[in-house]
Amino acid sequence: MNTEQKQEKLLFAERPEWSDVDPIPQYETSTPIAPILYTPQYKDATDYFRAIVKSGERSERVLQLTEELIRLNPAHYTAWQYRYETLLALSSSLQTELELMNELAIKYLKTYQVWHHRRLLITLLRTPQPELQFIETCLRVDSKNYHTWSYRQWLLSHFVDDDDLWRGELEFIENVIGDDVRNNSAWHHRYFVVFGCGVRSGSEDRARIVRRELIFTKQNISLAPNNPSAWNYLRGILDYNRLPYSLCTRFVKPYTLPLDPNTVDIVDLENPPPSRGAELPCVYAIEFLADIHEKAGDKDNILKGVDLWKSLANEHDTIRKKYWEHRIREALQSAT
Amino acid sequence: MSIATLNIPLHVKYIQNLGKSDDELMYHLTAHLRLNAVYWGLAALCVMGHKEALDRGEMIDFVMSCWDDEAGGFGAHPDHDAHLLSTCSAIQILVMQDALDRLDIPRVVNFIASLQQPSGVFAGDSFGEIDTRFLYCAVNSLSLLGQLDKMDVGKAVEYIRHCRNFDGGFGSRIGAESHAAQVFVCVGSLAILDRLDVCDADTLSWWLSERQMDSGGLNGRPQKLEDVCYSFWVLSALSILNKLEYIDSDKLISFILSAQDPEGGGIADRPGDMVDVFHTCFGTAGLSLVGYPGLEDLDPVYCMPAKLIEKMGLRKGWKALERRSG
């Protein structure tokens, strides 16, 4: 352990460079609702923090103190705030700060403050490009982390005119889905990229985009049919582009039936069949087909939809029996 | 080991003993939630009909000790800066304890209103983080204080509208993934502001019904694990949309009950995990909404006693399931 590291192990009360500061102890009254319990290290750090907040000090040692406090308690939002203001007051290198944050972010992936602090830094630094790689690194640790995905969406929105930033995004999201087709966050992000952020140059041919997305989604459904995220995405494409669900009737039907041992492997981009080993029938396919029948509106179709909902309520998706029975009642009422 | 009933006396004791934690470091690391935790404890006690189990005077004193006089709001803990999350909990506690007279209402209203952004959403504090959770905290607090006119309601509603995703759900900010907790804060806000028309009720109630897993528990988004707290986020949203009957309540009840700690009390996120007051609050809240016997009625919009909210003239058109006889 070198001298610097040794210094960090000392309480602030023991460090000569802090001897000019009078620490302020925490609010004294202890109540059974919130008794005072502390480790000496935490008490020490917070006592000194209170002192510099009171005096309004902005200095390098304040950066040192807030860093240690954040490492002790990453959710201490007041410490984060004071640190940020200190960085600005000292005109410190925000790039250096960002690098420090790279280390802390992985450690404290589920803490709101770590991500907000980063947004503030990038807003000032205006260097979004390296963030993409950083986000990917975080996702490798926790592929569905809500903060991480939300941060990526923020980054792309904030720098929406940066074509370089956006250039590799479709490939990125294709890879993430390829790694785990069941990652709902990834499918949501794809929607955000393709439909949620306006029309980017090169994507003006919306019909081509829709065709591409339908093929992509159907292929992924074919690989792993029991994946609600992909089915929700399929609905999303059709809803956003005001296309009827019946466009997918031929595609959906094989997924609503038990596995056919006589199925021949065919390559049909428009209607990829369920892959071998898929668990059939697929609940989401049955739901989808029922919706197609219901939307057709005539009595025959509605009764077909009712049959499908009955199979869900009584056999394939019994946990949602009450929901399917409601759909049946509602549809029958409208049919009369 | 499954437990067939809710062990109310044990959970009351668990909440009473919260301050006597042996794990000092855990206590520290949760200081940023302390005021919220007091609210969760109190809400759970109210649902279980044992509000008196924590001393009213001490609780009010603690709440007031969190007052940040510089900002005009409440921090999570004494010496913590004011934040909307803790300010909301503080106001909820003071209302439940009939102690609003302790509050400097104009100042706190000013603090809350000042956090609204041009886009309509709210920041949590001057640090600037935005989230629909903070929007809910602002709307909830201001409505409890009868001061909704101090915020720009129209802009807030528009912001929520822009958070609506293709699956009918809502996220933490515009562009973010649908998540049950964020659905609750958006739907709750819309209910208070009488703008439930912003919801695509059919799609959203379908999405919410899809949160129930075969175990009976609810998850927060597709293909994630079930967690007891979603019992509240999902159920309250469904209750507000008058679609609570979509849920298999028997299975949900046994899931929540199986997450109890039969020795020390409290409820965990799922069976076998460590309990905490957050999941104890939302587990009991969920049970109340689906009519579990022996519990008090809960207002799903405010997550506060229904009778109290009704007395204040704030009850909206939500529907819970009929209480079963025990």
ipTM of the complex: 0.93
pLDDT digits (tens, 9 = 90+) for A5-47: 555 578 999 999 999 999 988 765 555 555 555 678 888 998 9
Q: In chain B, which residues have their Cβ closer than 8 Å to the Cβ of A146?
A: 172, 176-177, 179
- How many CA atoms, within 13 angstroms, populate the side-chain half-sphere of residue A64? 14
Measured between alpha carbons, how far apart are the two ends of chain A, in Å? 82
Domain with residue B78: its CATH number is 1.50.10.20
- The residue-averaged pLDDT of A274-284 equals 92
Q: Would you call A150 and B62 a contact, using CB atoms and an 8 Å cutoff?
A: no
Q: Which residues pair with B73 in a beta bridge?
A: B68
Q: In chain B, which residues have their Cβ closer than 8 Å to the Cβ of A32?
A: 19-20, 55, 58
Q: CB-based contact (8 Å) between A134 and chain B?
A: no
The reported pTM is 0.93
Compute the C-alpha angle A316/A190/B165, nearest 5°.
Answer: 70
Write out the catalytic residue numbers of A: 110
In a mutational test of the B interface, the residue from A110, A188, A239, A294 whose CB has the highest number of chain B CBs within 10 Å is A188
Domains in chain A: boundaries: 1-92
Closest by CA position to B258, among listed B286, B238, B230, B228: B228
Query: Residue B3 domain-assigned?
Result: no
pLDDT at A121 over 60: yes
Q: What is the pLDDT along chain B (326 residues), one digit of tens a residue?
A: 445 899 999 999 999 888 665 554 455 556 667 899 999 999 999 999 999 999 999 899 999 999 999 999 999 888 788 999 999 999 999 999 999 999 999 999 999 999 999 999 999 998 899 999 999 999 999 999 999 999 999 999 999 999 999 999 999 999 999 999 999 999 999 999 999 999 999 999 999 999 999 999 999 999 999 999 998 999 999 999 999 999 999 999 999 999 999 999 999 999 999 999 999 999 999 999 999 999 999 999 999 999 999 999 999 999 999 999 87
Q: In chain B, which residues have their Cβ closer than 8 Å to the Cβ of A84?
A: 127
Two tokens at B11?
């959970």
DSSP B73-88: EE-SSTTSPP-HHHHH
pLDDT digits (tens, 9 = 90+) for A183-209: 999 999 999 999 999 899 888 999 999
Q: What is the pLDDT of residue A336?
A: 74
In a mutational test of the B interface, the residue from A52, A78, A286 whose CB has the highest number of chain B CBs within 10 Å is A78
Q: Identify the sign of the CA torsion A203, A207, A208, A213.
A: positive
Query: Residue B2 domain-assigned?
Result: no
| In chain A, % of residues over pLDDT 90 | 76
**Residue B142 and residue B137: Cα distance in Å, rounded?**
8
For residue B248, what are the domain limits?
Answer: 8-312
Q: What is the pLDDT of residue B2?
A: 45
Two tokens at B140?
């909830």
Compute the C-alpha angle A320/B280/B253, nearest 5°.
Answer: 30
| Contact call for residues B302 and B308 (beta carbons, < 8 A) | no
Q: CB-based contact (8 Å) between A274 and chain B?
A: no
pLDDT at A138 over 70: yes
Q: Point out the least confidently predicted range of A25-34, A86-95, A151-160.
A: A25-34
Closest by CA position to A109, among listed A149, A82, A72: A149
Q: Would you call B19 and A192 a contact, using CB atoms and an 8 Å cutoff?
A: no
Secondary structure element (H or E) that encloses residue A130, with its range? helix A129-141
Considering only CB atoms, A77 lies closest to which of B21, B58, B81, namely B81
What is the total count of domains within chain B? 1
Q: What is the pLDDT of residue B240?
A: 98
Give Cα separations from A132 to A112, A170, B87, B121, B263 (angstroms): 19, 13, 35, 26, 47
Query: Residue B16 domain-assigned?
Result: yes
Q: What is the pLDDT of residue A104?
A: 83
Query: Residue B55 domain-assigned?
Result: yes
Two tokens at B6?
């809710």
Query: Residue B326 domain-assigned?
Result: no
- The residue-averaged pLDDT of A125-154 equals 95
Alpha carbon B173 to chain centroid, angstroms: 18
Q: Which residues contact A37 (CB under 8 A, 6 or more apart)?
A: B21, B24, B27, B28
Chains A, B: CB contacts within 8 A come to: 153
**Residue B10 and residue B318: Cα distance in Å, rounded?**
30
- The residue-averaged pLDDT of A244-256 equals 96
Alpha carbon B24 to chain centroid, angstroms: 26
- The residue-averaged pLDDT of A219-241 equals 97
Query: Residue B325 domain-assigned?
Result: no
Q: Would you call B209 and A149 a contact, using CB atoms and an 8 Å cutoff?
A: no
Query: Residue B121 domain-assigned?
Result: yes
Instruction: Place A269 in a pLDDT band, splitting at 50, 70 and 90.
Output: confident
